[in-house]
Amino acid sequence: MTKPVIWITGASAGIGAATAKKFSKEGYSVILSSRKEEDLKKVRSECEYPEDCAILPLDLADPDSMVSKVEKAIQLFGSIDIVFHNGGISQRSLAMQTKLEVDRQIMEVNFFGTIALTKAILPYFISQKSGHFAITSSLVGIIGSPYRSSYAASKHALHGYFDSLRAEHHDDHITVTIICPGFIQTNVSVNAITADGKPLNQMDDAQANGMSAEACASKIFKGIKKRKEELYIGGKEVLAIYLKRFVPGIFSKILLKAKVR
């Protein structure tokens, strides 16, 4: 019996790596992509069935490479059922102090890189009359918060794009699941770029005390299996979505007092 195939970007660490291991354990063939090939090899060795995991290095900042990457990905296992857009970069800097080239870098990777890969594989999904896009957004893809202006903007953009794509390709049986994690125990804050583009190299307290990447991956697996349109993952920080939606004035006051960094 042929295994279903999931292709995961940003698979070298954090949520991507944990999700790769979860899908491998559940009987999927997994394509692991990121810029860090050595880290991908380590993730593959830790998967339940490493023989059914393939490595395909990919740089989201190189949109012109996406068509050839899709061709190679399809050849690895003969098909692709799910693309999990998980690669990206985060930010920790004030909007006023952040250089415009840093704003552009965040958008280029998080939004345009993801869209370039989507456009490259979409004709394949249309031709086979099935396909599933899962996208790692963030709670700040809905609410926004200080020190994350362009990161939040890039995630907001993903919501708009994929909500539209879902409606446009409903008749092609293409599914879209937008995943919004809150505080998850990963190095996302350590690797976040600052106002001049340099990494923060510091772990946020909220990140360190958040949900484990493994628990997050389990929820992602269930959400994708159930073909959820949106998935909110985290602890009490998830309540911020509902505060923003129903009592935005109160939410703004809470956000000012929270001093989120």
* pLDDT for the residue 256: 86
Tokens at 88, concatenated: 């990206």
* pLDDT for the residue 101: 98
Q: What is the pLDDT of residues 123-144, one digit of tens each?
A: 999 999 999 999 999 999 999 9
Among 7, 109, 125, residue whose Cα is nearest residue 55: 7
126, 172 in Cβ contact below 8 A?
yes
Q: Which CATH architecture has domain 5-258?
A: 3-Layer(aba) Sandwich (3.40)
Among 123, 226, 124, residue whose Cα is nearest residue 175: 226
In which residue ranges of the chain is pLDDT below 50? none
* pLDDT for the residue 206: 80
Indicate the Cα dihedral angle 52, 113, 186, 254, nearest 10°: -140
* pLDDT for the residue 255: 87
Q: Which sequence positions are flagged as catalytic?
A: 151
Q: What is the pLDDT of residues 142-177, one digit of tens each?
A: 999 999 999 999 999 999 999 999 999 999 999 999
* pLDDT for the residue 81: 98
* pLDDT for the residue 102: 97
